[in-house]
Amino acid sequence: MAAPTTVHFWFDLVSPYSYLAHHNLIHRVLPKFPHVSLKYHPIVFGAVLNHIGNVGPAEIPSKRIALYRDIHRAAKRSGIVLGQPKTHPFKSVDALRCTLAVPPSSQASVITGLFAAAWSHRFQTDLSVPSELRKALVEIVGNEEEAERVIAKSKSDEVKGILRESTEAAINAGIFGVPSFTFNNSDEILWGNDKIDVVEEILAGQDSLNQQDHEFIREVLKTEGITRKK
């Protein structure tokens, strides 16, 4: 299979793994592939979880401490500054809408800035608080007037509809977690910051799985035995 020319990044700002994956993607991976374009897909992770009948890792008390240890280890291994929002999980929908209320030429910088506002400081920002979201946007776009314009547009039915459609597209595509990566020439979904090396392999046309491997995996899917009651 030919190497893909577009990588699709499905994310929610509430996800620390999305923050790490985005940093790795734009700083470590994509500079090696100048011909590859990046397509952002902000989605409401909670809606995806509701659809598949699951909960987020930070919502499971016994898993919560393991989650935070894991993301801080992952950040240190990648040399990424990682803090913590004031609260987590936090309601990210307003901030997600802001990423869709800017011109395409500004979307990457707004997404990068909002990720940093939430995750690169220690207990400094809660993007679910309107005043703190506004403050972050002022710093990102450079002035209060533009920040107010973005916030106003983010509240429009048009932008709300775009986020809803993006989330529905994720569900229809089989996205089950964030971050996820898909490609323009494949139906494969890669899930998690720990798949960043696989993303790089696929973009280089060097996927470690060959056609026979994929055919075998399709056969494996037919071997399902018992299933737990939900």
How far is Cα 92 from Cα 97, in angstroms, rounded to an integer?
9
pLDDT tens string, the chain, 230 residues long: the values are 678 999 999 999 999 999 999 999 999 999 999 999 999 999 999 999 999 999 998 899 999 999 999 999 999 999 999 999 999 999 999 999 999 999 999 999 999 999 999 999 998 899 999 999 999 999 999 999 999 999 999 999 999 999 999 999 999 999 999 999 999 988 999 999 999 999 999 999 999 999 999 999 999 999 988 887 76
pLDDT of residue 226: 83
pLDDT of residue 227: 81
* Catalytic residue positions, numbered: 15
How far is Cα 181 from Cα 153, in angstroms, rounded to an integer?
28
How far is Cα 21 from Cα 163, in angstroms, rounded to an integer?
21
How far is Cα 64 from Cα 228, in angstroms, rounded to an integer?
24
pLDDT tens profile 90-112: 999 999 999 999 999 999 999 99
Q: Tokens 């220690």 belong to which residue?
A: 122
pLDDT of residue 1: 66
- Domain 6-223 in CATH 3.40.30.10? The answer is yes
How far is Cα 96 from Cα 43, in angstroms, rounded to an integer?
7
Handedness of CA 189, 193, 194, 196 (dihedral sign): positive
pLDDT of residue 39: 98
Q: Where are the domains of the chain?
A: 6-223
pLDDT of residue 20: 98
